Amino acid sequence: MISVVIPVYQKARHIERALNSALGSLVDACADFEIIVVDDGSTDGSGDIARSWVKDNHRAIRAQVISQDNRGVSAARNAGWRSAKGDLILFLDADDEWTVSHVGEILELAELYPQASLMTTAWSVIRRDGCQVFHQFGIGADLKGLLPCFFRAMSTGPMPVSSSNAAVPMWALRQTGGFPDGVTHGEDTVAWGKLALLGPVAYSPQIGAVWHQDADNRSDLGKPIAANYMLFLESALKLNSLTDDMKKSIWINRDIEAARMAGLMPLYFHDSPGRIDAMTAEQKAMLVEIRDRFADQLVTSIEAETYASPAMNC
């Protein structure tokens, strides 16, 4: 069985769309499933809308709404997967939606690559003007299969995995602990990085999720770039289990994150590593200054760990 986890906070205008899209994709894939909505202390009626949806569909599907005080999206996702009965956990944000083919693609990846600690499809964005935008993802994220190197893909294009297109085996979540509690921005990116240290990442270039930029209360708009993922990468470089190629990819990913925080590289490009190499001595000193400035913000929940069988997919 697969479990779908949907955290919701102040998404009354969107939660029903997310639920309907999830159900449509699950039914199309003929999946055995459950849906778990975690209401993270919403005050706008989001939880009531989800409970009404569950009540209307309870004869046909397994679904539940878990309510908790507002503790943040990491705690909500963790509460969801820890309550799940499935062997594979699919995540969806309450203001996004799945395409009808998403679940089928994920199940095919899970069958083809049972060793993968993380599975994902591609995603697109619907802008505020209603235009749908498609992306050129990072190096290696153009073919279906195992990403040659997750960290290289992360640093050379839009991130190939998000909290609306990710699927994670229960065994992998139990080993990494899921999402870092208390981290309010970039928490999902840290979680994906930890999973990529645990095992290979399986990817499909077929669009499986759609982000809506006009959504209410989006956590990824209007906020400065968080240092959490950069700090995670910095800590990962201290692990003794990394191959030389993997360490180089993480090192480049870390410096590109620092360059973004310094305002030197607003977006990811396929030639981002080359842009780092071409920086002046003054610009490279800025990257060191950025890393030093945020070093004391590293907390245990975002620190990289060594696993018994680390991924060596770079």
Q: Mind listing the pLDDT tens digit for each residue in 280-310?
A: 999 999 999 999 999 998 889 999 987 755 5
Give me the pLDDT at residue 309, please. Answer: 53
**Residue 250 β-bridge partners:** none
Low-confidence residues in the chain, pLDDT < 50: 222
Give me the pLDDT at residue 224, please. Answer: 52
Among the listed residues 89, 92, 101, 87, the one whose alpha carbon sits nearest the alpha carbon of residue 25: 101
**Rounded distance, CA 209 to CA 220, Å?**
16
Alpha helices in 58-186 (DSSP H): 73-82, 102-112, 150-155, 170-176
- Residue 112 to residues 146, 262, 304, Cα–Cα distance (Å): 10, 41, 28
**Residue 64 β-bridge partners:** 36
**Rounded distance, CA 131 to CA 299, Å?**
39
**Rounded distance, CA 235 to CA 40, Å?**
30
- Residue 23 to residues 123, 126, 261, Cα–Cα distance (Å): 18, 21, 38
Q: Is 122 helix (H, G, I), strand (E, B) or coil?
A: strand
Is 286:264 a contact under the CB 8 Å cutoff? Answer: yes
**Residue 126 β-bridge partners:** 132, 212
Q: What one-character DSSP code corresponds to residue 225?
A: P
54: its two tokens: 């569950």
Q: What pTM did the predictor assign?
A: 0.94
Give me the pLDDT at residue 222, please. Answer: 46
Q: Mind listing the pLDDT tens digit for each residue in 222-279?
A: 455 679 999 999 999 999 988 899 999 999 999 999 999 999 998 889 999 999 999 9
